Amino acid sequence: MSEDVDTSPETAAAGWTEPKAASAEGLIGSERILNQDEIDSLLGFDLSDDEVAERTGIRAIINSALVSYERLPMLEIVFDRLVRLMTTSLRNFTSDNVEVSLDNISSIRFGDYLNSIPLPAILSVFRAEELNNYGLLTVDSNLIYSIVDVLLGGRRGTAAMRIEGRPYTTIERVLVQRMVEVVLADAREAFEPLTPVSFTLDRLETNPRFAAIARPANAAILVKLRIDMEDRGGRIELLLPYATLEPIRKMLLQQFMGEKFGRDNIWESHLATELWTTSMEVRAVLDEQQIPLQRVLDLKVGDTIMLNATPDSLVELRAGAIPLTRGRMGRRNSHIAVRVEAPLTPHARQAVTRSQ
């Protein structure tokens, strides 16, 4: 006996739909909807800018390409020295009580920094002559008005007048330029114990697009400095691309000033002493001839090979395949000797130099 089975498409579709619907109901009953705080925590976007070192999630992956400035420990020493120098020089520049403090040092992409600059501001593009690259110095509007107010004799205790939405005047730009030149001179002095670097002001810009000195994705080091003049002040931000610091990267890797990597003076002295006392085999070559192989194979005991040399011919001294000098052969006591009559050849001097 056989039963009739309904294999129509409608019946098959109904059979597949019922289990899926049942499983979907089970998922809906057990699912949990995340709130915004949990989503931000999962992705790593709930952290403030001051907690850059503890970023997790997708934000950590995004910023993994940036090199932390902590891998260049000598930078902290340089910028601490810069803060001390600026405190003294800006006091002399403004004839006022100035306090300079280092807020933080961080790594950032150049494009992200340009987009984060609070406008209006003055951007100073300067050139590091010995490093053959550029840097950026940003002066915010609060410090601009404060410097202008102090240099032009503004009263203490009153906030500087700000007129937003207008371009900076020629007087304001000139005064800020003078302050930037003072800061760059201090930066040159701060780098002096490490390596001589001359920072030269190239131009002043107010539009970040005209102050581009690197590609947007390039990494850079951002140093934020706070300048307080009693009840007035502002912020200066110094940005140095990693490409600018690359020529002195080995120096910035030092843990302390004057550290030498991979060198041991005691071992160098010992190696030099051993080299000078090393014995070297020297051969005296009277003559060289090219003889057919057949003649060499026919040589027998008692055969004589005539040399193209006379008693007055010069003998060549060699160390391996390197010719050293020439001399005359003679006798000293019971030994055959060679008296050197020419200085070392250039090849010999180069070989000695490479061995040292």
Bridge partner list, 283: 318
The model's pTM: 0.55
Instruction: Report the pLDDT value the prediction gives residue 125, as an integer from 0 to 100.
Output: 93
Average pLDDT for 31-53? 64
Instruction: Report the pLDDT value the prediction gives residue 236, as an integer from 0 to 100.
Output: 93
Average pLDDT for 332-350? 78
Q: What's the maximum distance between 2 C-alpha atoms anywhere in the chain? A: 129
Task: Please give the Cα distance from 92 to 98 (Å, whole number).
Answer: 9
Per-residue pLDDT band at 82 (split at 50, 70, 90): very high
**Residues 6 or more apart from 24 whose CB is under 8 A from it?**
none
Task: Please give the Cα distance from 59 to 75 (Å, whole number).
Answer: 26
Average pLDDT for 73-97? 89
Using alpha carbons, select from 74, 115, 93 the residue that is nearest to residue 250.
Answer: 74
Cβ–Cβ < 8 Å for 348, 323: yes
Name the helix (H) or strand (E) containing 229: strand 219-229
Cβ–Cβ < 8 Å for 228, 98: yes
Name the helix (H) or strand (E) containing 110: helix 110-116
Please determine, for residue 178, whether its predicted confidence score (pLDDT) is greater than 90: yes
Average pLDDT for 322-333? 85
Please determine, for residue 284, whether its predicted confidence score (pLDDT) is greater than 80: yes
Please determine, for residue 188, whether its predicted confidence score (pLDDT) is greater than 90: yes
Measure the N-to-C terminal CA separation of the chain; round to a whole number of Å.
104
Please determine, for residue 349, whether its predicted confidence score (pLDDT) is greater than 80: no
Average pLDDT for 220-246? 89
Please determine, for residue 317, whether its predicted confidence score (pLDDT) is greater than 90: no
Please determine, for residue 2, whether its predicted confidence score (pLDDT) is greater than 80: no
- Name the average pLDDT for the chain: 78
Per-residue pLDDT band at 22 (split at 50, 70, 90): very low
Instruction: Report the pLDDT value the prediction gives residue 168, as an integer from 0 to 100.
Output: 85
* Percentage of the residues of the chain whose pLDDT score is greater than 90: 18
Instruction: Report the pLDDT value the prediction gives residue 19, as an integer from 0 to 100.
Output: 46
Residue with tokens 């080995």: 250
Instruction: Report the pLDDT value the prediction gives residue 137, as an integer from 0 to 100.
Output: 94
Task: Please give the Cα distance from 159 to 156 (Å, whole number).
Answer: 8
More confident residue, 354 or 187: 187
Instruction: Report the pLDDT value the prediction gives residue 45, as an integer from 0 to 100.
Output: 59
- Residue positions counted in the chain: 356
Please determine, for residue 142, whether its predicted confidence score (pLDDT) is greater than 70: yes
Instruction: Report the pLDDT value the prediction gives residue 23, as an integer from 0 to 100.
Output: 46
Instruction: Report the pLDDT value the prediction gives residue 160, as an integer from 0 to 100.
Output: 54
Average pLDDT for 207-211? 88
Residue ranges of domains in the chain, CATH in brackets: 69-252 (3.40.1550.10), 265-296+307-355 (2.30.330.10)
More confident residue, 150 or 264: 150
Per-residue pLDDT band at 181 (split at 50, 70, 90): very high
